[in-house]
Amino acid sequence: MQQPSTTMKPRLHPLLTFLIIFTILPGCSQPQTPHTTTRLVMGTLVTITTWNVPEAQERQGVADAFREMQRIDRLMSSHHPQSLLSTLNRAEENSTIALDPELALVIRRGVEIHQITAGAFDPELRALIRLWNFSGDQPATTPPDPQQLASVLKTQKKRKRNRLINQNPPAMSVGTGGANLDLGAIAKGYAIDRAITVLQQAGITDALVNAGGDLRILGSKGEAPWRIGIQHPRRDGEVIAVSEIRSDLAMVTSGDYERAFVHNDRRYHHILDPETGTPSDSGLISVSVQAPDAMTADALSTAFFVLGEKRSLTLLPDFPDVELLLVRSDGSLHRTAGFIATLRP
Ligand code: AMP
Ligand code: MG
């Protein structure tokens, strides 16, 4: 008989909230054990769990995987003034600057998802995101001044897209208005994917990389599945569903509870509708996406959150390997047929 060995509710940066991971211990007769290491990366507690790996190999592989995530953060963070992304954002308008191939890859995927999702996902929202300031050192507790918001939104809409999709490294042309990149809704997924690749390169075949609830699984956990609880969007520390996953899969959740404040009885959260410049009000409060890779799952969870249920489900056939669990604002759920989870009453 299997029993949950730990209920891991990450004690995180107070502005972040997450999934709960249950790690299952096998029956006492089996010698295998999971090995878990947790570090703060990208402002999030990241846990890497491996299964049945010799200790030295484990230690090296996991250390390399964390280093890789830190490297991605230094490239793609919009918070670090020294990141390559920040350098891009400081480039003068209508200039041509060097573009790192890896950064280009993530930007291009972001632009591609921007196009498929009719703009709901937008990797060029930096000015709006800074104005709302949900994740700065001193996050906002009130909405921005409406006039200022209208002005930033107007500039945002006037801005010519930088046509990054047509630019190939090593150079990128920055269009009118300069670059306005924020990869906060996709870079973490990419970092998770890279961590998984590094673990694989270290010969590790069975692992879980969990970055504050956004995760990817590699291989299996012996006879047992990896058990992952999906955070209840309104009850801290409770789950709405538990996923028992037995093979490679990524799962990412975007929720209005993650970074938010309440002002005059109204909740304001960090997922912005690029059309209105305000927190998305699509009728969804949480979107979990299961997909083969974490970068796609990350971008799509944000996009579907903004699109709302009807438009998301219309778009879903464009993504054959993607499954969804949607939580509506009244707490009711919609789950696509292939989404792996047992719902909690
Ligand atoms: P996530 O938690 O993955 O849904 O990403 C939310 C983060 O992505 C925010 O904190 C912003 O940095 C950024 N963001 C907010 N709204 C959008 C949007 N509509 N498209 C792309 N990125 C966004
Ligand atoms: Mg995302």
**pLDDT at position 70:** 97
Rounded to the nearest integer, the mean pLDDT of the chain is 87
**pLDDT at position 45:** 96
**pLDDT at position 99:** 82
d(CA 52, ligand 2 centre) in Å: 31
Q: 135 CB under 6 A from ligand 1?
A: yes
Distances (CA, A) of 213 to 240, 243, 312: 13, 12, 22
Q: Which of 194, 186, 185 is nearest to 69 (CA)?
A: 194
**pLDDT at position 10:** 38
Q: What is the CATH number of domain 84-173?
A: 1.10.3980.10
Residue 7 has pLDDT above 60, yes or no: no
Dump pLDDT digits (tens) for 11-43. Answer: 344 434 444 444 333 333 344 688 999 999 998
Structure tokens at 151: 């002005």
Q: Which residues contact 331 (CB under 8 A, 6 or more apart)?
A: 234
Q: 282 CB under 6 A from ligand 1?
A: no
**pLDDT at position 169:** 63
d(CA 228, ligand 2 centre) in Å: 18
Instruction: State the CB neighbour count (10 A cutoff) for residue 275.
Output: 14
**How many residues in the chain?**
345
Q: 231 CB under 6 A from ligand 1?
A: no
Q: Which residue has the tokens 């918001």?
A: 149
Mapped onto helix, strand or coil, the DSSP state of residue 187 is helix
d(CA 132, ligand 2 centre) in Å: 17
Q: Is 43 left (phi over 0), alpha (psi -120 to 50) or beta?
A: left
pTM of the predicted protein model: 0.90
Dump pLDDT digits (tens) for 66-97. Answer: 999 999 999 999 888 999 999 989 988 878 88
Reported as half-sphere exposure (CB side, CA atoms, 13 A), residue 340 has a value of 20
Q: 185 CB under 6 A from ligand 1?
A: yes
Ligand 1 pocket test, candidate residues 152, 180, 302, most atoms within 8 A of CB: 302
Reported as half-sphere exposure (CB side, CA atoms, 13 A), residue 331 has a value of 7
Confidence at 168, pLDDT banded by 50, 70, 90: low
Q: 88 CB under 6 A from ligand 1?
A: no
Residue 162 has pLDDT above 60, yes or no: no
Confidence at 167, pLDDT banded by 50, 70, 90: low
Reported as half-sphere exposure (CB side, CA atoms, 13 A), residue 224 has a value of 22
- Identify the residue whose C-alpha is closest to ligand 1 atom 12: 184
Q: Which residue has the tokens 């947790």?
A: 38
Q: Give the domain ranges of the chain.
A: 84-173
Confirm if 177 and 298 have CB atoms less than 8 A apart: no
Dump pLDDT digits (tens) for 234-258. Answer: 999 999 999 999 989 999 999 999 8
Dump pLDDT digits (tens) for 294-305. Answer: 999 999 999 999
Burial (CB count <10 Å: 0-12, 13-18, 19+), residue 289: buried
The per-residue b/e assignment along 106-140, b for 16 or more CB within 10 angstroms, e otherwise, is: bbbbbbebbebbeebbbbbbbbbbbbbebbeeeee
Distances (CA, A) of 166 to 77, 83, 90, 112, 247: 23, 23, 20, 11, 36
Q: 122 CB under 6 A from ligand 1?
A: yes
Dump pLDDT digits (tens) for 91-136. Answer: 888 788 888 889 989 998 998 999 999 999 999 999 999 999 998 8
**pLDDT at position 132:** 96
Q: Which helix (H) or strand (E) holds 96?
A: strand 96-98
Q: Worst-scoring range by mean pLDDT, 46-55, 170-179, 326-335?
A: 170-179
